[in-house]
């Protein structure tokens, strides 16, 4: 039991971070506003969690301009995708264990 718990990734303890990763693994990339609409998060909250994921190298971003508006689009890195997959497997094992 304990070992399974250790498999859970600390970076994904927050529900919003899980949400960000879920959205980014099934989409090539998403911009800030799309993530915001999807997850129903506030600007500040979303930005801080994106920054946290970026710090551990799970998410990267690219800045560009759409017309005159700056636009930031986020992508999950391959490290991030692997880490998220492992987190999902750990979650599944925990649930099956307790059945």
Partner 1 sequence: MAKEKEYLEDIAAIRSIMERSSQFISLSGMAGVMAGIYALVGSFAAYKIIYSSDHVLYDDIRQYYLSPGVVQLIGIAAFVLLASIVTAFLLSKRKAKRDGRKFPDAIAIRLALNFLIPLVTGGLFVGIMVLKGNFSVIAPATLIFYGLALVQASKYTFKDVKVLGMAEISIGLLAAWLHGYALWFWAVGFGLLHIVYGIFMYLKYEK
- The residues binding partner 1 (CB under 8 A) are 15, 18-19, 22-23, 25-27, 30-31, 34, 37-39, 88, 91-92, 94-95, 98
Residues 6+ apart with CB under 8 A from 50: 20, 32, 35, 59, 61, 74
Q: How far is the CB of 80 from partner 1 (least distance, A)?
A: 14
User: Strand, helix or coil at 42?
Assistant: coil
Instruction: Kindly tell me which of 25 and 79 has the beta carbon lying closer to partner 1.
Output: 25
Q: How far is the CB of 30 from partner 1 (least distance, A)?
A: 7
User: Strand, helix or coil at 45?
Assistant: helix
Q: How far is the CB of 26 from partner 1 (least distance, A)?
A: 4
Contact assessment for residue 40 and residue 5, using Cβ atoms and an 8 Å cutoff: no
């Amino acid at each position: 039991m304990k070992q399974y718990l250790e498999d859970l990734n600390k970076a994904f303890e927050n529900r919003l971070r899980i949400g960000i990763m879920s959205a980014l693994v099934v989409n090539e990339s998403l911009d800030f506003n799309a993530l915001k609409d999807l997850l129903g998060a506030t600007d500040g909250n979303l930005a801080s969690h994106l920054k946290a994921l970026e710090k551990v190298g799970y998410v990267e971003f690219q800045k560009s301009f759409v017309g005159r508006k700056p636009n930031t689009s986020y992508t999950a890195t391959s490290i991030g995708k692997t880490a998220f997959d492992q987190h999902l497997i750990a979650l599944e094992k925990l649930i099956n264990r307790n059945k």
